[in-house]
Structure 1
Amino acid sequence: MRPSQETLEFIEFMTRSGPRIDSGLPAAELRAALQERRTSPAGPEVALVRGAEAPGPAGPVPLRHYHPEPGAVLPGIVFFHGGGFVLGDLDSHDHVCRIIAAGTGASVVAVDYRLAPEHPFPAAVEDAFAALRWVAANAGELGIDPGRLAVAGDSAGGNLAAVTAQLARDAGGPGLVFQALVYPVVDWTPDETGERYPSHRENGEDYFLTTGAMEWFCEQYLGSPADAADPRCSPLLAGSLEGLPPALVLTADFDPLRDEGEAYARALAAAGVPATTVRINDGFHGILGFGAFLGPARRAEAAVTAALRHAFASDG
């Protein structure tokens, strides 16, 4: 099976929009090149968008707060951006956060965690959890109902959302009502033959995220190969998944990470955690936020926002 012509043309456009991840450029130069050629859509208007900071283990963690209805107390979503733990920032996912805020009616707090290789694992995890705890502790000032707090993220951000949900459970809080994991990376341990996760082999070329790019991200993020087995790096390897918040795991047909994401959803369900898997037909890694241009992306955005709305309504 091959992607539709519409999807293939969009993948080609995305690939032309910047240098290849595995081009050999140092991380800092790659970031600069991608920022210079950034083509993200604007996203919908949100009534209040402002900067904030959370205290982190290595200094302040920059945040961006989106609130659709200033003065009201709304459900809250702590969002972690994708980019392989090397790329991405508050601007790269501004349109995604606006889509989620507008589509859910919830307040969104985006987290600008430290990036590798300058700050390898577990720096991103430490910043992500520090930000989550700060949002929960300051929910009143942010117009957020602390009893209706969720985490969400795409790709590397999906990993951080899954990991922070585990850390929050183990620490006795903050309490979370949901985790929305969009094509998350959940297992960094080597799958060199693609037998454990066939999508690594089937979708490792031609669909935007490549095997070479995944290997490069792994080299940048892991301080040591042994880190791959740490559950804070590979949440699928946690000793127990019991007691975690309900989850949506969204995957895409032509994504190398498809099978490991779905394996995490099955593992959650086996541990008694309500978990829904939505696979986006004709989708690929990186589609979230491009619904203005691509049908599969619109379906991805609708699935994420609907799951979060349902979680908040059910908890309420």
Structure 2
Amino acid sequence: MSIRAGEVEGPLGEVLRVMMASEPVDQERSAAEQREENAQLWRASLEFVVRPAPEGVTTEDLEIPVKGGTIGARIYRCEGAVGTHVFFHGGAYWLGSVELSDIHSRWLAKLSGVAIVSVDYRLAPEHPYPIPIDDCAEATAWLAANGAELGLDPSSLSVGGESAGANAAAVVALRCASGDGPRLVAQVLSVPLTDWLDAAIYEAEMDPRCTPTAADITLARRHLFGEAPRPEQMLAASPLRAVIPDGMRGIKTMIMTNQFDRLRDSGQAYAQLLLREGVEVTTYHAPDIFHGGTGMTALSASACRYEAVYAAYVRETHRDPHCYGSCRSLGAAIWVK
């Protein structure tokens, strides 16, 4: 068993113990039924685990055309917003939504001063690979082409996300860097899944404080890639195994990891890969949070700081794409009251 140094922060430790003691996912129920139950539980817990939404953020819902239909998205912005950050929510590609990440998106818009566009990409298993990732790529391209009509600034465009959303953002950035998409100024990858072929993320013997569990990762893989996953598909969705195109050197990168996260090591490995390829990379590591704990801002000063670091990097890269070095020291400097 791999034991991680340190402890999960205060109240988050209590939440984690409850999570670890809960019943495993009922495989006899449909993904849609499980998804709705998960959404109901999150809504019921919001006022206890997530700090209230900030004031001064306006929203606008829109529909974005994609292959096979349309998907929803929501724009968040404050007065004087500069640039556009396209955000992809987490949820293992089969959970989550724009609605469930609404407060987080509002805080990102408030703290960054950048317009945030949160994308409701279609979910597996109803929409298996490559549909969710393609939705994210097509939404990014559509916003680059049509954002000005919505009052956005597509000339300063970045992508980002959490967990599965960070995986999608990383793949989208690689496509854009290869010429298959618009020019990006930055990507922000929060607790990213970077390697679907990494055997370590499926190993059951790991520090029990680490989330997601091996069963969670296996379920996500099955929902996204099917009962018999094709290695070539998992490879295409694994940025850590990609040939890094020269265009990536023009996309500034923030990679954020948590100590008690099964995906920590591969996320940090991706940062090292990009650095070796000449990409300007900033990293941030939370030493006392588990995967998913970063959203519990009502319980954790560390989670608030984590959210602020994400927003500060977005702000720096959009307000002056050439001057963002101050973010390198944000790990010890930023607190949110």
Amino acid at match of 1:189: L
The alignment-based identity, stated in percent, is: 34
Code of the aligned partner of 1:236: L
Whether the 8 Å contact between 1:200 and 1:257 is mirrored in structure 2 is no
The 2-side partners of 1:263 and 1:119 are apart by 29
Q: Does 1:242 align with 2:252?
A: no
5+ residue gaps, structure 2: 323-337
Residue of structure 1 equivalent to 2:75? 65
Q: Which runs of 5+ in 1 are unaligned?
A: none
Equivalent of residue 222 in structure 1, options 221, 225, 248: 225
Normalising by structure 2, we get a TM-score of 0.84
Distance 1:83 1:268 in 2: 25
Deviations 1:3-35 (A, max 9, x none): 24433113245668xx75633242111111112
Secondary structure of 1:176's partner? Answer: coil
Identify which of 10, 14, 33 aligns with 2:15.
10
Q: Which one-letter code corresponds to 1:3 in the other structure?
A: V
> Shift in Å at residue 243 of structure 1?
2.2
User: Judging changes above 3 Å, is the alpha-carbon distance between structure 1 residues 84 and 168 closer, same or farther for their aligned structure 2 residues?
Assistant: same
Secondary structure in structure 2 of the residue aligned to 1:99: helix
Report what 1:43 is aligned to: 53
C-alpha spacing 1:283/1:228, structure 2 compared with 1 (3 Å): farther
Say whether the 8 Å CA contact 1:187–1:228 is kept in structure 2.
Answer: no
- In the TM superposition, 1:1-316 aligns within 5 A as 1=5, 2-12=7-17, 22-24=25-27, 25-38=29-42, 39-40=45-46, 41=50, 42-69=52-79, 72=80, 74-171=82-179, 173-191=181-199, 194=200, 201-203=205-207, 205-223=208-226, 224-227=228-231, 230-244=234-248, 245-315=251-321
Structural RMSD (CA): 2.3
Q: Which whole-Å CA distance do the structure 2 matches of 1:15 and 1:76 have between them? A: 38
Deviations 1:76-119 (A, max 9, x none): 11000000000001111111111110110111111111111111
Counterparts in 2 of 1:68 and 1:21: CA distance versus 1, 3 Å: farther
Quick one: distance in 2 between partners of 1:264 and 1:288? 20
- In terms of fraction of residues, the more helix-rich structure is 2
1:249 and 1:276 in contact (8 A); partners too: yes
Deviation track 1:96-148 (CA, whole Å, cap 9, x = no partner) reads 11111011011111111111111111000111111001111112122222221
Q: Is the 8 A contact 2:12 2:293 kept in 1?
A: no
2:317 partner SS: helix
Secondary structure of the 2:247 match is coil
Matched residues in 1 for 2:204 and 2:147: separation?
Answer: 40
Does the 8 A contact of 1:249 with 1:275 survive in 2? yes
Residues 120 and 107 of structure 1, relative CA distance in 2, 3 Å threshold: same
